[in-house]
Chain A
Amino acid sequence: MKTENFDYKSIPGWGMDMDPENEPTYPMKNYTGDDHKRSEYEKSSQQPVDIEVLKSNERPTYSAVFGSSVPPSGLSGMIRRYAFKHSEDRYRHWIPLIIADRVNAVEGIFEDLKKGTIPNILAERGWKSELKYNPAGLAKKVFVGALVTSFVITYLARKKG
């Protein structure tokens, strides 16, 4: 795998961006002199806050523009609201959010059922492509799954008996 004899300088673009007079490495800070003026800049108009937006408590105002893709809802929403009471420095901000995501995945299944659709979880996980490109791996997974299931059933049956 050694390529040590390769003439690197023959690579198109070698040294292209190396001009020391034009050192592109960051920080080549674009010093504006405005560093301590902090919030004194021309801000775009505020996007109306007409949905529930959980704002970081490390900033006093909403950003001029924000995303509104999925407002908090249900139990996961309650957990998220709790998380946002704490700063981004705290575990009690991030860990509840991760938990809320797990709860949210379950809520998603109920939401689908409520709409009358049974989520095709295998299709969502892309098992069609698994079958196409990794049939041996898929067979192994199914086999192991069946084995585990049969063990569990045997174990439960024995426990009952």
Chain B
Amino acid sequence: MNYRGPFRVRAEQRPMPEILHPEDAIIRVTRTCICGSDLHLYHGMVPDTRVGSTFGHEFTGIVEEIGALVTNVKIGDQVLVPFNIACGKCNFCKQGLYGNCHESNSMATAVGAIFGYSHTAGGYNGGQAEYVRVPYANFGPTVIPADMDPDDAVLLTDVVPTGYQAAEMGGIKEGDTVVVFGAGPIGIMAARCAWFFGPSRVIIIDHLDYRLEFAKNYAKCEAYNFKSMPDPVLFLKKITDWYGADVCIDCVGCEAEGNALQTFTGKITLMQAGSATALQWAINSVKKGGIVSIVGVYGPPFNFVPIGNVLNKGITIRANQASVKRLLPRLIEHVQSGRLNPKGLITHRIPLEEVSDAYHIFSSKLDECIKTVLIPSTKH
């Protein structure tokens, strides 16, 4: 996969990745997904996304080659690779903040390193390819349990941990009302995982009926289309006894719909780093003293966020890229026990060669697309 500029990607032969560090591994990709956050790259919203980059931070594969110091995986192992590149040894990694590793991204200090996610996130090529270089192979790649469906495994690289951490950061307590903004794969997963923490209500908000329908079935939650209401914040206040939700979760990020001013300043004129509508709604519809959890991706520079309301309402904001490796043991257990069915999110399976169409389908929300898996043919 080769990025050529906004809305333009194509499949083509690229040079084989090489071991550049003794702790690297080369992995032959068996499955890779397109993520909602890839669309921010595809739309040209993320700074320092260079033409010639390969995207893809959700992938599984087979270890093809290992560097001299790699001992944790061996050639032939089937592995899932967490989307964040982490050393496992720096002081942030030691705290479990694997999304904030200090030894994998030279290009920025505010963002950790992510496969195939611009030079701001480290300048690594991603997994929407036949082969990919995986740094810190002693830490990240995790052998897929023998009894696990490979489609479940690939979603454990990002969607499941991110959705789960979104719910986790909400600090949900028994009886809480949780509102999830965005019924993309992460939002649906966050709504599903929220139930693990014992709330009494989970509500999901989006603007596309087919996604809401999917969310309602998959996550067993209440689902509302904000296009059908004059004021979503007012609506949420009304259905929560004029009190506000206990926990609001933003699974949208910088390309939110629904607010003309945010759209104009954030998406059309780029006066801010994307439209922050979902975050604005989350802050304004959570109860006083409530918790807002953010996993939607925002650009690094600047956003119009109602910070005054955060202060006056005494809101706690928690946000991060998911620390995949920290959550994997718990989530693998949830999948193995049947409590969680990640592959249920997959609606499309497309050969890697058709990557241009795959991106367009997902970006334009065609064919009721929720989650796409790309499969490399790997004839070699």
From B7, B47, B90, A101 is in contact (CB under 8 Å) with: B47
B37 on the interface (CB 8 Å rule)? no
Instruction: Name the A residues within 8 Å of B77 (CB-CB).
Output: none
* Contact, CB under 8 Å: A80 / B106: no
A126 on the interface (CB 8 Å rule)? yes
Instruction: Name the A residues within 8 Å of B356 (CB-CB).
Output: 123-126, 128
Instruction: Name the B residues within 8 Å of A106 (CB-CB).
Output: 5
Instruction: Name the A residues within 8 Å of B135 (CB-CB).
Output: 65
B241 on the interface (CB 8 Å rule)? no
B359 on the interface (CB 8 Å rule)? yes
Complex CA gap A64/B139 in Å reads 14
* Contact, CB under 8 Å: B106 / A35: no
A108 on the interface (CB 8 Å rule)? yes
Instruction: Name the A residues within 8 Å of B85 (CB-CB).
Output: 65
From A11, A54, A105, A120, B107 is in contact (CB under 8 Å) with: A54
For chains A and B in complex, what number of residue pairs have CB atoms within 8 angstroms? 248
Mostly, the A contact residues are loop
Interface size class of A (residues with CB under 8 A): 35 or more
* Contact, CB under 8 Å: B122 / A11: no
Mostly, the B contact residues are loop
* Contact, CB under 8 Å: B300 / A88: yes
Interface centre among A12, A15, A39, A101 (most CB of B within 10 A): A101
Instruction: Name the A residues within 8 Å of B361 (CB-CB).
Output: 126, 129, 133
Interface centre among B51, B53, B299, B300 (most CB of A within 10 A): B51
Instruction: Name the B residues within 8 Å of A12 (CB-CB).
Output: 338-339
- A-binding residues in B (CB < 8 A): 4-10, 20-24, 44, 47-54, 85, 87, 89-91, 94-96, 102-110, 113, 119-120, 122-125, 135-136, 165, 168-171, 173-174, 195-201, 212, 216, 220-224, 270, 273, 299-302, 318, 320, 330, 334, 338-340, 356-361, 363-364, 366-367
- B-binding residues in A (CB < 8 A): 1-4, 6, 8, 11-18, 24-26, 29-32, 34-35, 37-39, 41-45, 47-48, 53-56, 58-59, 62-70, 72, 76, 80, 83, 88, 91, 94-95, 97-98, 100-102, 104-109, 111-112, 119-121, 123-130, 133-134
